[in-house]
Structure 1
Amino acid sequence: MRHFDAWLPALILAVLLTVTGWAWLGRPVDLPPAPEAKLHCASYTPFRGDQTPFDPTMIIPKAQIEEDLKRLQSTTDCIRTYAVNQGIDQAVPVAAELGMKVLLGIWIGRNPVDNEAQIKRAIELAKAHPETVKAIIVGNEVLLRGEQTGETLAGMAQRIKAESGAKVTYADVWEFWLRAPDVLKQSVDFITIHILPYWEDDPLPVSEAVKHLESIVAEVQEAFPGREIVIGETGWPSEGRWREDAAPSIVNQARYLREFLVYAKAHQLDYNFIEAFDQPWKRYQEGTAGGFWGLFHEDRTPKFSWTEPVSNYPNWLTLAGISIALGFGVLVLADFWHHRPGGVARVVCALGAMLAGSALVLHFPHAWMASRYDPKWVLEWEWILECVLGVQAVATAVLLILTTVAGRLRDTGASLLEGITWIRRPFRLPTIRDSIAVLRLAALLGAATVSLGLAFDPRYKDFPIAAYLVPALFFLVTDIARGGLFAALADRREEAGFALLLAGTAVYVFINETPLNLMSDIWVVLTLLLALPGIGAWRGIFQRRRTISSNPASRPTAASPVL
């Protein structure tokens, strides 16, 4: 380690800043404590891992339900279910053994045969366990999906009430209850509404979410004077895509639920939280946030305390250690100790390596979250793609640090055409310059693909900020260091094309997502940073055109084509 001593001050500074950054991310936030020891009720869907309601052969083992309800007992004495097939009906006798209550849901869809099977089984369960079945919920958001009419649902509710002797209700988003026909309103014992501020057409930040819920409850109470109103679903996701300034996080989830509990206690409002446990299968159907509404993680560990301060990264010190270890790994791969660049270069490279390590630590949990569960695939292509993005970030960091410490910044200016030329002959061993060109091409192509996805299919697309943080910042710094950021570059049509595409999609995404979406804003900045070298490419194109215009003899021939 010939020059390690020269690197030591820069390394110490980088390590201290990394720890400081993680400490800030993991800082605990004080929140109002839950006013009651137990929650009124929580939605229970038993699926774990690759289990899914879309698999008709799936039968949930009774032992799995017993384990789940025993875990929930310390949090609530009531569960809400949504169907009585696939073994979920076993939740009723298990709850009876444990002294718990059940809001028994039946799944009503378009198929009359399936609907009849759900109705008959619910009636049987209510008759067998009258002390356990608190009420039967005759369908969930059926009007929202447009699968049955309100009149049909009313007939089902009347029949189930008459044959089971249990209370009945119907559950839907609050707006659809206001539009429901009078016959449905009169056929249920109480009104069950869903209020999910995150999913509203105009999403709200968590700071305004409970106030918004209060106004909706008041509106529904005014529409149904004298009727009992129950909030059948409310909650907040702990991870997932931002919707404007509605930001999923563990702290925000805990804040919403705990502030809601204070409100519900003060107004003696009955409620059910969605949901007990995270459901990975919902990511494929609802986007990333769909899988993270649980009070408990998928592994059945609690996400936060109901009385203590809450942190998004309670294990931040461990994450900081992993980030630092990965950062040193990047420096080792870049052979840093064999070189002694200037002091500024050493600081920039040390900080860059630790930034790359932190970006990787942030990226891989995001990669798992963003890889939506699809039972048709054994190896999910989205997960493979996310892993490739992580490898791309490491390779970019290693090569750009290597060229910086070795005094070979000229190699970082490799054109996209050089990368394309190597790709056309991939069996030739790439030089460092070839590799950097290919990595820049991959970063631009990937960023353009993501931005186009965000423009045309935004609901199911996330912002892979951590993965593109390294290419965007590292290429920017090296371009500035070699003085090539805005330099007029001849024959760089590929760079010019990508710059135009990235700038155009950045503007569209910024407008479509609104400036309130911080994740969108950061993504737009990263894509514009990747597009910046294209300014030099366009300058080169315009200079060449001016030259041709003023000197016709310089016009390109068939032997020397130029744009």
Structure 2
Amino acid sequence: MRRANWLTLGPAWLAGLLATLLVWWLPNRAQLRQLAMPVERLNSVSFAPFRDGDSPLRNIFPTAAEVEEDLRLIAPRVRGIRTYASIEGDYEIAELAQRHGLRLWKGAWLGRDLAQNDRELARLIDAANRFPDTVERVVVGNEVLLRRDLPPEALAAALDRVRAAVRQPVTYADVWEFWEQFPEIARHVDIITIHILPYWEDQPLDVESAIAHTRDIYRRMHALFPDKPIAIGEVGWPSHGRWREGAAPSVVNQARFLREFAALSRSEGFDYNVIEAFDQGWKYKNEGTVGAAWGLWTADRQPKFALSGPVRENADWPYYAAAAALLGLVLALLTRRAFPEAGPVPLVLLSLALGNALAFAWCGGVPYAFDEHLLLAVAVNLAGQGMLAALLLRRAGQRLSGLPVEPARNGAHATATVRDLLRLRLRWRDWRGFALDDLGFVFLWTAAALELMLLFDPRYRDFPFPTFAVPLVAVVTRALLRDLPRAGGGWAECWAGGALALAALAGAVNEGGANIQALGWSACALGLAAPALLRLRRPVPVAAMHPASRPASR
């Protein structure tokens, strides 16, 4: 019998490895082969040279040498750059841009600190007058009206002050709707600079509709201000983050949008600036993962895609697929050694599924741990998922070998375990007997908390698929093994499972049917909640059972 089982491992491994290859290749296959970039150099890109660990929120700035290295990297691909503040770091960006033949849209950051605004404007005026051949325009304030940092009258006064002191055209940059709301600002500028970001629209647009929308908004602004030149100060598409209705951030969509926009700008004669040169990890504090994913280059200065030719969502997918397969092999060998009587084919397939789940959790977590706090959270999550995978394989080995399994534990038991752990009173003897159910319940509580945050404050929060990759495999596996308890639950199951299920349903309604990512996560959340809700069922008394269905007496 054991020989027959081992003979079936070849096809099982082959099927599992082919499935692994398909799972990683399909979303990362080459796309956009026929969509070429019609220009070799972009007109301008937003330039923020912050690297990992740098942040204007913490006043940690790159060095002049690092900034010059960045300018040297992007100079062959762009005609000019746009900056947002005049007081940043120990360098003058206009001087460095001049060395590399780059034109500059020089910005001054205006906020609620009036004294700091005065310093910004003074530095802006000084740089514009010292580098007149490099600074081709000055941008006084960025989205000040959108943030409500200053009233229109104060903004107009700042614009008038700069116009009287420099020779370059003066402009103010804001989302296009705010130019419609405050058209009087046009009297104080030489250029109308608008931001068109289809992903962030109040009614988000998918990438298929984004280019036509950009063209229509430009023409609409031109009709509103026929006597002023129109410049697009920000335009682009994010490469990662949560969907907003049908607006899907991805590397492929970013490449598609940029190539199609370049063709549109060439035909329409746009004056434009693309956001942005490099991914900015510090932005996740204010805008979530998507805020850190607008760059044409990654934070470690690698191009996300070629300007022409095929594009892959994740060019490193073969490494993740190989890691998933190798991890699955190791898990299968260890489990087979511990449970030689278990059916090998189910253990092989489960091991590969867990290998893929752990590789996916790493792929979706580690690259987006933008600071030490996120890195710690990802490390704890990966450790928890790794432990859950090991415990699940142990449970599956027991069930498939016909060995007795530990009695099921409920949410009250798990809560007591966590309480004892926090008080350093947990007795670790026979911990493997209770850890599977208790750890699974901790993941359930975590999912419920995250789902409530997604429901009430969703704008900058990602759908946490990687965080619950192994728990989802555990639910499916235990259901197939008929290992999900159908009774014995209490208030803990009611609160955690009920909150997760209700919030998932409400979230799906709020996000709408166009948001496939949200619907997918809602389905996963309901799957995570199902075992807890099943435990709320009362067992049917034996006396009430139909005679044919009662257990036979021995």
TM-score by length of 1: 0.89
Distance in 2, matches of 1:97 and 1:420, equals 63
Q: Which amino acid aligns with 1:51?
A: D
Aligned partner of 2:39 in structure 1 is: 36
Q: How does 1:143-158 map to 2 (within 5 A)?
A: 143-158=145-160
Instruction: Give 1:275's aligned residue.
Output: 276
* CA shift digits 1:395-423 (9 cap, x unpaired): 22222222223334744844334444555
**1:299 and 2:303 aligned:** no
Distance in structure 2 (CA, Å) of the matches to 1:452 and 1:370: 22
- Deviations along 1:430-477, one digit per CA (max 9) or x if unpaired, are 343311111221121111111111112212322221231321232233
Kindly indicate whether residue 514 of structure 2 is the aligned counterpart of residue 516 of structure 1: yes
Q: Is the 8 A contact 2:50 2:61 kept in 1?
A: no
How far, CA to CA, are the matches of 1:171 and 1:409 in structure 2? 69
Which amino acid in 1 is paired with 2:477?
V
- CA distance in structure 2 between the partners assigned to 1:437 and 1:421 by the alignment: 12
Distance 1:536 1:70, change over 3 A: closer
Structure 1 stretches lacking a partner, 5+ long: 374-378, 548-563
**Partner secondary structure for residue 190 of structure 2:** coil
**Residues 483 and 153 (structure 1 numbering): CA distance in 2 closer, same or farther, change over 3 Å?**
closer
Q: Which residue of 2 aligns with 1:557?
A: none
Does residue 45 of the first structure (1) align with residue 48 of the second (2)?
yes
Q: Residue 395 of structure 2 aligns with which residue?
A: 403
CA 337–490 in structure 1, closer or farther in 2 if over 3 Å, else same:
closer
Say whether the 8 Å CA contact 1:34–1:261 is kept in structure 2: yes
Query: Which residue of the partner structure matches residue 375 of structure 2?
Result: 383
Report how far residue 124 of structure 1 moved: 1.3
Q: Could you say which residue in structure 2 is the equivalent of 1:197?
A: 198
Give yes or no for the alignment of 1:20 onto 2:18.
no
How big is the shift at 1:157?
2.0
Which of 158, 161, 164 matches 1:159?
Answer: 161
Amino acid at match of 1:203: P
Structure 1, residues 324-361: CA drift from partner, whole Å, max 9, x if none?
1122233244345742434xxx4443233223222222
C-alpha displacement of 1:84: 1.1
Q: Which residue number corresponds to residue 77 of structure 2? A: 75
Alpha-carbon distance in 2 for matches of 1:403, 1:517:
36
Structure 2 counterpart of 1:429: 429
Q: Secondary structure at the match of 1:209?
A: helix
State the Cα distance separating 1:482 from its structure 2 match.
Answer: 2.3
Aligned residues: 532
Give distance in 1, aligned partners of 2:534 and 2:151.
61
Q: Secondary structure at the match of 2:76?
A: coil
1:42 alignment partner, SS class: strand
1:364-398 alpha-carbon deviations (Å, 9 max, x no partner): 2432455454xxxxx41x33222222222222222
Q: 1:369 to 1:286 in 2, by over 3 A?
A: farther
Report the Cα distance in structure 2 between the residues aligned to 1:277 and 1:226, rounded to whole angstroms. Answer: 34
* Conserved? CA contact 2:411–2:489, under 8 Å: no
Determine if contact 1:359/1:467 at 8 Å carries over to the other structure: no
Instruction: Map 1:110-509 to 2 at 5 A.
Output: 110-182=112-184, 184-336=185-337, 338-342=339-343, 346-368=344-366, 371=369, 373=371, 379-380=372-373, 382-406=374-398, 407=401, 408=403, 410-411=405-406, 413-420=408-415, 422-423=417-418, 424=420, 426-482=426-482, 484=484, 487=486, 489-490=487-488, 492-509=490-507
Distance in 2, matches of 1:412 and 1:367, equals: 34
Q: 2:358–2:470: 8 Å Cα contact kept in structure 1? A: no
Cα distance in 2 between the residues matched to 1:292 and 1:412:
47
Conserved? CA contact 1:33–1:258, under 8 Å:
yes
User: In the alignment, residue 529 of structure 1 is paired with which amino acid?
Assistant: G
**1:525 to partner: Cα distance:** 1.3
* Aligned counterparts of 1:412 and 1:264: Cα–Cα separation in 2: 67
Q: 1:158 to 1:397 in 2, by over 3 A?
A: same
Distance 1:428 1:119, change over 3 A: closer
Identity %: 34
Q: Within 5 Å, give how 1:522-541 maps onto structure 2.
A: 522-540=520-538
TM-aligned CA distance change 1:178 to 1:315, over 3 Å: same
Native 8 Å contact 1:499 1:531 kept in 2: yes
Contact 2:328 2:355 in 1 (8 A): yes
Q: CA deviation at 1:257?
A: 0.9
Counterpart of 1:539 in structure 2: which amino acid? R
Distance 1:148 1:335, change over 3 A: same
8 Å Cα contact 2:360/2:469 also seen in 1: no
CA distance in 2, matches of 1:357, 1:399: 14
Distance in structure 2 (CA, Å) of the matches to 1:387 and 1:412: 30
Q: Is the 8 A contact 1:169 1:191 kept in 2?
A: yes
Aligned residue identity for 2:410 = S
Q: Could you say which residue in structure 1 is the equivalent of 2:550?
A: none
Q: Distance in 2 between matches of 1:360 and 1:482?
A: 24
Task: Give the counterpart letter for 1:479 in structure 2.
Answer: A
Distance between the aligned counterparts of 1:60 and 1:498, measured in 2?
Answer: 45
Aligned-residue offset at 1:277 = 0.7
CA 1:412 to 1:42, structure 2 compared with 1: closer, same or farther past 3 Å? farther
Matched letter for residue 255 of structure 1 = R
Per the alignment, do residues 139 and 420 of structure 1 end up closer, same or farther by CA in structure 2, a change over 3 Å counting? closer
How far the C-alpha of 1:93 sits from its partner, in A, is 0.6
Distance 1:245 1:330, change over 3 A: farther
Once structures 1 and 2 are overlaid, which stretch shifts more, 522-531 or 131-140?
522-531
How well do the aligned residues superpose, as a CA RMSD in angstroms? 2.4
**CA-CA distance at 1:205 after TM superposition:** 1.3
8 Å contact from structure 1 (residues 363, 464) kept in 2 = no
Deviation, structure 1 residue 493: 4.4
**CA 1:200–1:286 in structure 2 vs 1: closer, same or farther (change >3 Å)?**
same
TM-score (norm 2): 0.90
